[in-house]
Amino acid sequence: MTADISRGSHWTGNVREGAVIRTIRKSGYPTALKPGRCFRGVKSGPIRKTGPSAGFFRCEPQDGDAGCETRSYLPVNWTRYRWFYCVIAVSTAWLSLVCEPVQSDAGPGEKEDISDASGDRSGTGNMTGASEPGDLEYVETIEVTARRPDDPNLITELPAFITTITIDSDAPRFRTLPELLSGAVGVTVKDFGGLGKLSTISIRGSAANQVVVLLDGVRINTASDAGVDLSTLPLNAIERVEVLRGADSAVFGSGAMGGVINLITRKTVPGPADRRWRLHGAFTYGSFNTSDADAGLWFESEHGSYRVTAKYAHSDGDFEFTNTNGTEFNPDDDFTDVRRDNAIDAATLGFWLRRSLGPDSELTGSVEGFIDDKGIPGMITFPSPSATQKDRRLSGLLRYETGRPGGLGYRAFAEISGKYIGLDFDDPLGEQTGVPIRTRQQTRAGGARIGGDVYYARGSAGLTLHGSGEHLNDDDFGEPDRTTLAVSARNDLNCFNEHLWITTLLRYDTISDAGDHWSPKLGFRWFVTDRLSLRANAGYGFRAPSFNELFMQTGFIVGNPDLMPEEALSCDIGFSYQGYRWRAEAAAFQIDSEDLIQYLLVSGFRYKPFNIGKARSRGIELDGSVELGGGVTLSGSYTWDEAVDRSGEPNVDGKQIPGRPEHDLFGKLDWSGSRIGAWVEWHYLSGNYVTRANTKELDNRSIGNAGISWKINNYLQIGAEVKNLNNSDVVDVRGFPLPPRAFFASVRFVQ
């Protein structure tokens, strides 16, 4: 007898009548059948787990009392990181996999049945009490699924602390990616002026260019300026966002010093199950003449599914704000002003496919394009009503994946990706820098990855080869190129009947203009109970200098081709608990960074970057939620982050790093009825400094948002919301005010 769990399906294996299936939940894992503990009261073979990601299970009848095969694995020992593998060697000696030797009463060739009395073969029956002939009794009714991660990096299966934000595609809300991420624990978002304006992210006190951003596994970061503008990534096609906190260059290479943002696009659309196509759309209109419209079509055939989406957004952005006239401490000269040259028009078009090539093989692909045209208003003390910027992005991915379940299962993949990013900036009157500027940048990049994982009795091992190239076309930089070749290895080892998992990762990068780098990481996950888990990590991160820092020769900036990569050592420890109606997570972390790139005045008004910075970021993260009953859910997060300069420079050593608030508190109350829903949220940020010497500080800020939705029928929903409910004068960056109280109304349909 053989039974497999395929992606997104119910358990469809054959089990004897009267069997009791016992399932467990492990925090950080998909719901899965527990290996060697799956059947009670019948005689059948133990279920073998062929990988920690619960990708495949196999149940095989055994003769006599034969148990599961036991195998050990020890990767090649690299001298430089031998202490990692000493830990594995000691742990291997304690490995023990307990298998219950049960046998099947079915004779050779006889077929056992999982059907219940109604003929249901889904494996998720809803029966209780004593089993009757022909019935299948379950201890609990849980949909047993096995999800292959959408990205071969297996981000949700890493031992790191990860927050997954699932986006409700039915909710009639108007949200942007910066707004969504600002409530995540350990994350700070800096917004430079509202819809469509520059938005950057910091994780655990990092800089924006120390965070890797992925879209379906394709890196959005470019070598020209390693940071990513979150405002250019619309949410209409996104299903969930995964936020990995902590240095992880062992998996993601250059740039992963603070963390990783992984955007997963939606492959299906909620709707009637009997339809092979679904049409969906939404429209929002609100303050500052803001409109947002998106539509999409999803359809499936016998061998696959396909999706097309389109989105258009516009806003005048002409909101009122209090102009301090550059004198924050003198309210006498404050006046009410209007933000000008703040309009934006943006459009997105995307296509996704998923095609089955056999029972265990699949081909996926995507093409996504984005374009915008926006004004650049500048700082309130130096407005630039004539400056404009146009952004363009085109990215594509083609990926093949195959796997084979069994006692020694495997998963293999190969993918190619490419992207084009264009930027046109015009400041014809020199309003921002004093001299006219006209910039034309075009970045072209391509990459390939090939690798896989082998699942064995004690866990899994994987190897991936990476290759990428990038070219920047810009006269101010001399048209530089960058080539990266890398190999990464991973091993997951379980001990004490899967209560303890040890994950070791090692990656080697060779970068054409930044040298060679080894990036190790070690992680532990201890499942104390089915609900409580502890985890700890220690890893290395680095960031290769950007083309801006290496080669820019324009205006007041001169590049430094002798720059070295920034480096960081990261460690964290904490726990997560998943209760029946509540969950909680807590973590303590520390990141020590050195060789940070900072600009110094070298002559006249010319600045040049050097590797002189050091910093330490340490703190505590708390996150949780509780179901209060009656459809009411309370959730919240708190981050204490002490990001301190350790460069040794006079007047700045020991000071809080600018733009890194020490306290971040977020709370949300949701109510969901049969047709009506409502929510209210509150976000507090402590004041943060704008100068390295901590001589000037932004005020504390509190913002409240609220909304209501009404489900008219199964196809149509409407909603209304208020942002900045308390009408606070808010800035994330000095000189760049954010919108006051704003109102929006939305309608969403699916057919």
DSSP, collapsed to helix, strand or coil, labels residue 178 as: helix
CA distance linking residue 569 with residue 593, whole number of Å: 7
Output the DSSP codes for 465-487. Answer: EEEEEEEEE-TTTT--EEEEEEE
pLDDT-above-70 percentage for the chain: 77
Which residues partner with 470 through β-bridges?
Answer: 445, 482
Q: Which of 272-276, 299-303, 430-434, 527-531 has the lowest mean pLDDT?
A: 272-276
Torsion angle of alpha carbons 650, 651, 655, 659, nearest 10°? -110
Token readout for 428 is 């014809």
Lowest-confidence pick of 129-138, 479-488, 557-566, 607-616: 129-138
- 3-state SS, residue 528: coil
In this prediction, residues 129-150 reach a mean pLDDT of 31
Give me the pLDDT at residue 85, please.
45
Q: What percent of the chain has pLDDT over 90?
A: 46
pLDDT digits (tens, 9 = 90+) for 542-551: 999 999 888 8
Question: d(Cα 435, Cα 430) in Å, to the nearest integer?
Answer: 4
Summarised one tens digit per residue, pLDDT across range 209-237 is: 999 999 887 889 988 887 899 999 888 88
Tallying the residues shown for the chain, one arrives at 751
- The pair of three-digit structure tokens given for residue 511, joined into one six-digit string: 């970068």
pLDDT at 26: 30
Q: What average pLDDT score do residues 402-419 get?
A: 86
Q: Give residue-wise pLDDT tens across range 638-687.
A: 999 999 999 888 888 999 998 889 999 999 999 998 899 999 999 999 98
Output Rg (C-alpha) for the chain, integer angstroms: 27
What are the beta bridge partners of residue 640? 620, 663
Burial class (CB in 10 A: 0-12, 13-18, 19+), 386: middle
Structure tokens at 146: 């096995």
Which tokens go with 154? Answer: 């297996």
Q: What was the pLDDT predicted at 526?
A: 93
- Report the distance separating Cα 687 and Cα 665, nearest Å: 12
- Cα of 547 vs its chain's centroid, Å: 25
A 10 A CB-CB count for 86 gives 11
Tell me the average pLDDT across 1-28: 34
Which has the closest alpha carbon to 556: 605, 627, 609? 605
Q: Is 326 helix (H, G, I), strand (E, B) or coil?
A: coil
pLDDT score, position 464: 95
> Counting beta carbons within 10 angstroms of the beta carbon of residue 581, is it exposed (0 to 12), middle (13 to 18) or buried (19 or more)?
exposed
Stretch among 18-27, 221-230, 377-386 having the lowest mean pLDDT: 18-27
* Band of pLDDT at residue 418, cut at 50, 70 and 90: very high
- Whether residue 440 contacts residue 474, with contact meaning beta carbons closer than 8 Å, is answered with yes
- Phi then psi for residue 429, to 5 deg, are -100, 5
Which of 568, 571, 650, 552 lies closest to 609, judged by CA?
Answer: 552
DSSP 231-294: GGS-STTEEEEEEEES--HHHH-TTTTSEEEEEEE-----S-TT-SEEEEEEEEEEGGGEEEEE
* CA–CA distance, 331 with 323 (Å, rounded to integer): 10
Q: Does domain 155-264 have CATH number 2.170.130.10?
A: yes
Asked if pLDDT for residue 19 goes beyond 60, the answer is no
Confidence (pLDDT) at 169: 61
Task: List pLDDT tens digits, range 353-380.
Answer: 999 988 889 999 999 999 999 999 988 8
- Asked if pLDDT for residue 400 goes beyond 90, the answer is yes
Closest of 663, 660, 643 to residue 732, by C-alpha: 660
- 720 pLDDT band, cuts 50/70/90, is very high
Q: What is the pLDDT of residues 265-285, one digit of tens each?
A: 887 776 666 678 888 899 999
Q: Which residues are bridge partners to 557 per DSSP?
A: 554, 607
Calculate mean pLDDT across residues 486-508.
91
247 CA to centre of own chain: 14
Q: What is the mean pLDDT of the chain?
A: 78
**Does domain 275-444+562-750 sit in CATH 3.40.190.90?**
no
What is the mean pLDDT of the segment spanning 133-144?
A: 30
Name the residue ranges covered by the structural domains of the chain: 1-66+101-147, 155-264, 275-444+562-750
Q: Worst-scoring range by mean pLDDT, 153-167, 176-190, 411-425, 617-631?
A: 153-167
Under the banding of pLDDT at 50, 70 and 90, the label for residue 172 is confident
User: Lowest mean pLDDT: which of 47-61, 304-318, 638-652?
Assistant: 47-61
- The pLDDT score that the predictor gives to residue 35 is 35
Phi, psi of 178 (to 5 degrees): -60, -40
Instruction: Indicate whether 59 pLDDT > 60.
Output: no
Question: Of 566, 47, 557, whose CA–CA distance to 258 is shortest?
Answer: 566
Alpha carbons 728 and 682: distance in angstroms, whole number: 12
Residue 54 neighbours by CB distance under 10 Å: 22
pLDDT band, residue 508 (cuts 50/70/90): very high
What pLDDT is stored for residue 77 in this prediction? 30
Q: Which two tokens stand for residue 264?
A: 């997963």
